[in-house]
Amino acid sequence: MTEKVNKKYGKIICIFIIILLSISYFLYILCCNQLIFQSKEYTSRKPGWLKKESVPVKWPSPLILLWNKFYGENILKYWSIEKITDQCPYKCHYTDDRALEKNATVLFFHIRDKVDPMPKQRTPEQLYTFFVIESPPHTWNEGRYFPRNFFNITMTYRSDSDVIVPYVFESYNKEDVKNGVISLDEIWTEEEIDRKIAKKEKLTLQFVSNCNTNSKREKYIEKLKKFTEITQMGGCVGKNNCGRECEEKLIEFWNPNCKLCTSLQPFCDLCKLAHTNKKQLRINNIYAFWDGGGKCLHGYAENVLLN
């Protein structure tokens, strides 16, 4: 009789311990918003501290709030964010619904578009992202209304940004076709490329609208003209009546895939930052970062390429 009672109480104690551990784990997730296991290692190209770092995966997935537009366009649709982040090992939800402000881990601001109204209430855990793909001379008339210490993350074309958005075209492979990222008929074969190149009569084509740049790229182009033929279109050369069809005809090497010129890494890296939730990320003076030069080489084209 005593043995049966002991077995009964032993089972009850085991069940109680299992329930207690389950509740403890649930409370850990609820309070810390973080799972115990690690995600698959994701190797990003840049910046350095994001490389080869195993990041705890949050549950539920962090919310990234796209606060304003991208040159008047809906960022979700323009950048096809859900599509280009589909293969990212770190999962985030993206929205432009400002009503979800309190739930957002990251708030994303394109500083070239109107931000009004500003966020109403900021939590210590939220990361504010400074996003722009233009250079400083084409930026600050729109961005000076932000407080100096408003942002936590920089997301620009510069190599010293927290998240780099490069001016590159994405390449595709058989796996992309298999996963539905792109269709097979949109990818040129080597033979097709050779045929298109063979038809070309011109070597270089430039579309240019900014005539006097801080980087002095126009001087580089003039120097380059001494060695190769360059066809120029745009307001700077008095040929600004070329529309999209005209551009495609001129380029001839135009690849429909490249219209989606955003690569996977930038928004995947941003999502990764949302998972790390690095509270120490703080930019004390965004103006010093953006106007201060950083790793951008002042006068690069003029001093290096031309001499």
Contact present, 305 and 219 (Cβ < 8 Å): no
- How much helix, strand and coil, in percent to the nearest 5, is found in the chain? 40, 15, 50
Structure confidence at residue 64 (pLDDT): 94
Q: What is the residue extent of each domain of the chain?
A: 1-32, 48-169+263-298, 189-254
Contact present, 132 and 15 (Cβ < 8 Å): no
Structure confidence at residue 47 (pLDDT): 41
Structure confidence at residue 33 (pLDDT): 43
Mean pLDDT, each 10-residue run in order, the chain (307 residues) = 59 73 62 40 38 52 93 84 79 92 94 88 90 81 80 88 74 71 72 73 72 78 82 71 58 38 66 77 82 56 49
Contact present, 275 and 90 (Cβ < 8 Å): yes
What is the torsion angle, in degrees rounded to the nearest 10, for the CA atoms of residue 116, residue 121, residue 124 and residue 126?
-50
List Cβ<8 Å contacts ≥24 apart for 137-140: 137/213, 137/214, 138/210, 139/111, 139/112, 139/290, 140/290, 140/291
pTM of the model: 0.57
Structure confidence at residue 103 (pLDDT): 92
Distance, CA of 138 to CA of 39 (rounded, Å): 39
Cβ count within 10 A of residue 151: 26
Helix (H, G, I), strand (E, B) or coil at 175: helix
| DSSP secondary structure letter of residue 229 | -
Which amino acid, 56? P
Which stretches does DSSP call E strand in 171-228? 204-207
Structure confidence at residue 54 (pLDDT): 46
